[in-house]
Amino acid sequence: MKGFIRGRWIAAPALLVAGVAGLMLATTASPASVTIQVGSLLAVSGSVSGSVSGFQPNATVTVNGTSYLADASGVVTLSGAPLAGAAALTIGFVGTDGLSHSVVADLKDATTGATLTASDLLDGVPDVTAPVTLDVDVGAATTSTSGSTTTTTTTSGGGGNGGAGGNGGAGMLAGARRLPDGSVSIPASSVAMPYRLVIKQVIFTPRTVRAHHQRVSVRYRIGDTHGHWVRNATVWMRTLPLHRLSSVKAKRSDMAGWVSFAVRSGMSVKLQKGGRINVFVRASTPGEPIIGGTSTRRLVSLRVSTHP
C-alpha cells in the first residue's frame, strides 16, 4: 500500500512511522502546570487570615481539611481559618485535568525566613508569614486508587536570606555555630546593619493570669533579620503601665537565642475576663545604643481572666 504526499508516492510503513512519531511527541509534551500563590498570612492563636489564589473560578478548595469556595478570579480568602494544629497549609483542589491534587506550603516567618512551628502559630503572638509560590504539574501526576493525585511541586518563598533552619550565613559571620536542629547561632556582636535583632518567639507559662501574686514564666527567643538565632543579646522587659508584673533585671540570650524571666502578677492587675497585661520588650547588642541601630523592641500581651 502506498500514499501520496506532496506529489510523491511513499510506502505505507513510512506513513506508519510518521504517525507513531507524532503520537510520541503528543504523549511526551510538557504537562500542564498550575501556579498556586499563598499570600502573606497573619497567623495568631492557631488560625490564619489572608488569601490563596490560582484556582479555577468558583472552585471548591480545601485548606487543612476545611472547604472554601474560590471567587470568580480563583482566589480563596481565609479569615481566621483554623490550622488544625499544623504548621503548614495542606491545599486540595481539582486541576484542569479533572483530578484532585494536594500540595503543602510550609509557613515561614516573613522577617527572618525561619520555618514556624506549631507552637509559634498556636500562641497569641501574631506572626506574619512569607508569601509562597507552588508550581504544580497537573499533567504529570500519578492517579491513586482514590482518584486523587500525587503532584510534583516547585516551591519558592520570601523571607530571610538563608533562614534559621538553612545553611545561609553559616561560617560566613564571626562566631557562627550550627545548632543540633540545623539552625545557625551567631553572637549579637555579629549582627550589623542593615540587619537587626528580632524578638521572634514569646511564650508565657501559664498563658493566663487568674490571681494576684501568680508566678509566670516568660521566655523570649531572639533572632536577626538574616534568619539566625542570636546569643548574648541583652533582653529587658517591663509592663505598661508599671507594676503589673514584678520588675526584672536585663538578661543575655543563650546559645539558641532563648532568655527566660520569672515574674509575679501585681496587686494592680484587674482580674477580669478579657483583660490584658501589656509588656514592652527590648533586645540590644551589649555596648551598642539601646535605641536605633540593630536594637529592636516589641509590645506583647499576657491574658488576664477572673479567678478560677
Distance CA 120, CA 73 (A): 32
Distance, in Å, from the CA atom of 174 to the CA atom of 287, rounded to the nearest integer, reads: 17
Q: 109 near 128, Cβ under 8 Å?
A: yes
Give the Cβ contact number of residue 288 at 10 Å.
15
Q: What is the pLDDT of residue 31?
A: 52
pTM of the model: 0.50
The predicted model gives 237-262 an average pLDDT of 96
Would the pLDDT of 215 be above 80? Answer: yes
User: Are the CB atoms for 38 and 89 separated by under 8 Å?
Assistant: yes
Planar angle of CA 192, 198, 200, nearest 5 degrees: 150
Read off the pLDDT band of 307 (50, 70, 90). Answer: confident
Which DSSP helix (H) or strand (E) runs through 120? Answer: helix 118-122
Residues 302 and 208: their CA atoms lie apart, in Å, by: 6
Range 106-110 average pLDDT: 84
What percentage of the chain has pLDDT greater than the value 70?
Answer: 77
Q: Mean pLDDT across the stretch 178-204?
A: 92
Nearest-angstrom CA–CA distance, 181 and 195 = 23
Contacts of 235 (CB under 8 A, 6+ apart): 199, 220, 222, 250, 251, 252, 253, 259, 281, 282, 283
Phi, psi of 170 (to 5 degrees): -65, 125
Buried b (16+ CB within 10 A) or exposed e, 133-156: bbbbbbbebeeeeeeebebebeee
Q: Spell out the residues 6+ positions from residue 9 whose beta carbon is closer than 8 angstroms to its own.
A: 2, 3
Mean pLDDT, the chain, integer: 80
Helix (H) or strand (E) holding 119: helix 118-122
Q: Span 55-72, mean pLDDT? A: 90
> Is it the case that residue 238 has pLDDT exceeding 90?
yes
Q: Which three cell numbers stand for residue 173?
A: 559571620
pLDDT of residue 24: 47
Residue 157: per-residue pLDDT: 52
